[in-house]
Amino acid sequence: MDGTTTGVAQVDGVRLHYTRAGSGPLVVLLHGWPQTSRCWWPVLGGLAEDYTVVAPDLRGYGRSDKPTTGYDKRRMAADMAGLVESLGFGRAAVVGHDRGARVAHRWALDRPEQVERIAVLDIVPTRETLRRTDATIAAGYWHWFFHLQPDLPERLAGADVRGYLEYFFERWTYDRHALTDEAVDAYVAAFSRPGALRAGFDDYRATEADVALDDADFAAGRLLTVPVLALWGAAGLPARLPTLDIWRDHSAHPDQVTGAEIAACGHFIAEEAPEALLAHLRDFLPKPA
């Protein structure tokens, strides 16, 4: 893409690849599963007009290293903290989608002095997802429980990586044209690399540790202290939950939690509704000097 550079930072022994564009206050974009930092391409240029934008591949994803440990969200958030520090920034606004939003949530809880604010796309907190699992949630998030199993997901999904990923790209979108053939090819290639499927599943297998952290914080009254923007697609599963109320329950300042449902949009907001996402983010992100 024009006006972008790529780089590698080694954080705690893990090489993290990232794309960078623009100048100004730092905005970090964190992707989810089954994607990579490529998912942000439709909004990267627009944000880079006013901000320094960094879109990393999370530990285990894309071109970043795929270690066999470290997929709890505290460790993955520490990766991002180290990346920001290595780039010479003290603070960042963070936008996270799917698994990346779970990393953003933990990052803001653990390092509020570093995370200025977070936007979370198409999720509710991990503990709430598990607490609210009924027949509807289980049917929508069946893959989560499948990915928790040892060894089996790699064997079954590995037999047809494209078929497995395309199942989600078809069923989690409202506008199936939004995920181009080129984008899908890139994601299939990324998850066909050695260790990539296992690493993505290990992200889910960290659920027990993640929920334990979240439950302990919530029980102790340790809530988010930074402003939160929650966005979800009208055709996505969070649309069936009181998503905004849930995020307010997890904030020490509920009046600083705003959000909206994006019409005619499924799970992949950055690709399905990039202009709507940019409009919301421009209102929410700190104004450049």
Read off the pLDDT of residues 43-91 as tens digits, 9 standing for 90 and up. Answer: 999 999 999 999 999 999 999 999 999 999 999 999 999 999 999 999 9
Tally of structural domains, the chain: 1
Q: Give 250-269 pLDDT, tens digit per residue.
A: 999 999 999 999 999 999 99
State the CATH number of the domain containing residue 110.
3.40.50.1820
pLDDT at 1: 62
Positions of the chain with pLDDT under 50: none
- Residues serving a catalytic function are 98, 267
Tokens 């078809």: give the residue. Answer: 170
pLDDT at 154: 98
Q: Is 264 contained in some domain?
A: yes
DSSP 8-state class, residue 287: P
**Could you please report the per-residue DSSP string of 41-90?**
HHHHHHHHTTSEEEEEPPTTSTTS---SS--SHHHHHHHHHHHHHHTT-S
Q: Is 164 contained in some domain?
A: yes
DSSP 8-state class, residue 256: G
| Contact (Cβ atoms closer than 8 angstroms) between residue 134 and residue 233 | no
Q: Max Cα separation, the chain? A: 52
Tokens 């923007």: give the residue. Answer: 229
CA dihedral 233, 123, 202, 133 (to 10 degrees): -110
Q: Is 90 contained in some domain?
A: yes
Domain that holds residue 208: 4-284
Q: Is 271 contained in some domain?
A: yes
Q: Is 289 contained in some domain?
A: no
The rounded distance, in Å, linking the Cα atoms of 74 and 54 is: 20
> Cis omega (within 30 of 0) on the bond before 34?
yes
